Structure 1
Amino acid sequence: MPPPPARSWSAWLMALALAMLVAASFATLPLNWSALLSADAVRSSSEFLAGFAPPELAVPFLVKTANATLETLAMSALGTLLAVAGGLLLALPGAGRFGRPARAAVRAVLNVLRSVPELVWASILMIAAGLGPFAGTMALAVHTAGVLGRLFADALENAAPLPEQSLRINGVSPMAAFLYATLPQTLPQMLSYTLYRWENNIRAAAILGVVGAGGLGQMLKYHLSLFQMQAAATVIIAMLLLVALVDAASFATRRALTR
């Protein structure tokens, strides 16, 4: 009979620390559950939600919503594409291929890029580029480049080094060895990361419109600020349909890549 596995006290201590953190969060935050579930709160919420029905279905407004939907989709797709290019460029030094000092410097840059939210990047870029989808697209690209650069760098570091080393020993150039040995190992994982971030960028692109970056978010902010709830309901439905469509397409693509 095999001996029982050794207990990992570090795992137990980590779980205990997380449990204490959750308990402290509940104890310190002023969570007023009674006010949330009171009769007045339920009635007010019901009256507010009732104002969204029925959604606006006039043909001119539907055409306008469809154009904003395409704009949101274009923002997310172009922002993700630019982020992939930037992430790949930063992933190579971030994976330690140009020495430890370059790795530390690039990792610090990636931390900054992904630590700043898309809304903050959009607010900064709109000062230079003005209102519209360009600032939103660049905000998505900058933030997502930080995320993908870190994920790509980790994937490259975790790749098996023997295939590339074998090619290098046999006289293959470093770039060719990387392209034929290491990159094929990590490419499916990189594509999966890219598709997942594209899904996130669809949602983020819709939110960026709130600060004037175009698309469905800008329409939603405009109609909500004027209390045009039925028009806002149509925009929200368009957001839900767009996210569902992209999620389905991304899921099907990931399944095809893993077969």
Structure 2
Amino acid sequence: MRTRHALTWSVLLTCAVVAWAAQGSGISLTALWEGRSGGARLAEGFLRPQTSPDFLVDVLKAIAQTVQIAVTGLVLGIVIGTPMAAVMAGGVGAWAPLRVLVRLLSAVLRGVPDLVWALLLVAIVGPGPAAGTLAMALHGTGMLTKLAAEQLEGVNPAPVEALRLTGAGRAATAALAIVPQARTGLVSVILYQFECNIRASTVLGFVGAGGLGQDLAISLRLFRYDEVSTLVIATLGLMLLVDVLSRRARRGLGATTKACT
């Protein structure tokens, strides 16, 4: 009997929470019905994508800029995040207060969403790909530091201890015993971060950070839904291509997967 009452109260509480959430979200059938004309115009534009040569050239330039932002942000993240990961990894044996400081910095960098970093940097350096690249580099540094440190900590400790017994220092131990074991995992992490950068760069453009997202935002504001259709197709095509190439590369390395965060 007590179990049945508990189940009843759990169901009622769940229903109350769902009803409260739905009420605050603003979703209603009335709003969907009132927006049917806008939805029809959007669907009409999507069925007739813009294919003029001049616009397609602009789309290709935006794709190239998106890839440039993602690659440059990734490289900056690797350059900054790799030494931070080495300090943060427990097996390397770095100075404890420095490890805590790096762990805190990594948490701050990845805790602030890349979209927020982009908004801040657009205000500092102005709209354009530079803001998107720096935002991606900051957030990516935090992510790469955490994920790379986990890879470095997950190695077999036996070779590490054996090298330390020979009198090798921390740098030599990391270079000869830790990094070689974690190499496959580190490459996998970098490939996944590149995938995340491609996805993020299309979103950062909505706040003026360049790439496909910026062109998509402009076309949406001008109600040019045929251009929106072409840009969405280009975005999906780019993401699918990067996903396929990354999966094949990871499969060739025998690496595991991690989700973008």
Could you say which residue in structure 2 is the equivalent of 1:55?
Answer: 49
Q: Taking every aligned residue pair, what percent have the same amino acid on both sides?
A: 37
- 1:71 maps onto 2:65 in alignment: yes
Pick from 125, 142, 146 the counterpart of residue 146 of structure 1.
Answer: 142
Residue from 15, 20, 24 that aligns with 1:28? 20
Match of 1:251 in 2: 247
- What per-residue deviation string (whole Å, max 9, x for no partner) do you get for residues 185-207 of structure 1? 11111111111121111011011
Which residue of structure 1 aligns with residue 118 of structure 2?
122
Cα distance between partner residues in 1 of 2:114 and 2:13 = 28
Over the residues paired in the alignment, what is the CA RMSD in angstroms?
Answer: 2.4
**One-letter code of the match for 1:212?**
G
| Separation of aligned partners in 2, 1:33 and 1:61 | 36
Question: Could you say which residue in structure 1 is the equivalent of 2:131?
Answer: 135
* 5+ residue gaps, structure 1: 1-18
Greater mean deviation of Cα atoms: 47-56 or 102-111: 47-56
1:176: Cα distance to partner? Answer: 2.1
Gaps of 5+ in 2: 1-10, 256-261
TM-score, normalised on structure 1? 0.84
Number of positions where the alignment pairs a residue of Structure 1 with one of Structure 2: 241
Partner residue of 2:158 out of 159, 162, 173: 162
Report how far residue 111 of structure 1 moved.
0.8
Task: Give yes or no for contact 1:35–1:41 (8 Å, CA) kept in 2.
Answer: no
Task: Show the counterpart of 1:10.
Answer: none
> How many Å apart are 1:212 and its aligned residue?
0.9
Correspondent of 1:226 among 217, 222, 229: 222
Contact 1:83 1:142 in 2 (8 A): yes
| Displacement after TM superposition at 1:44 (Å) | 5.1
* 1:14 aligned residue: none
AA at the equivalent of 1:170: T
Q: Which amino acid aligns with 1:26?
A: V
Structure 1 residue 23: Cα displacement? 6.3
Map Cα deviations across residues 14-72 of structure 1 (whole Å, 9 max, x no partner): xxxxx999767524302577617966566653443223231110101101110110000
Change (3 A) 1:21 1:85: farther
- Counterpart of 2:200 (choices 199, 204, 226) is 204
Instruction: State how far apart, in whole Å, the 2-side matches of 1:33 and 1:90 are.
Output: 44
TM-score (norm: length of structure 2): 0.84
Tell me, what secondary structure is at the counterpart of 1:90? Answer: helix
| Aligned AA (1:144) | G
Counterpart of 1:240?
Answer: 236
Give distance in 1, aligned partners of 2:101 and 2:59: 44
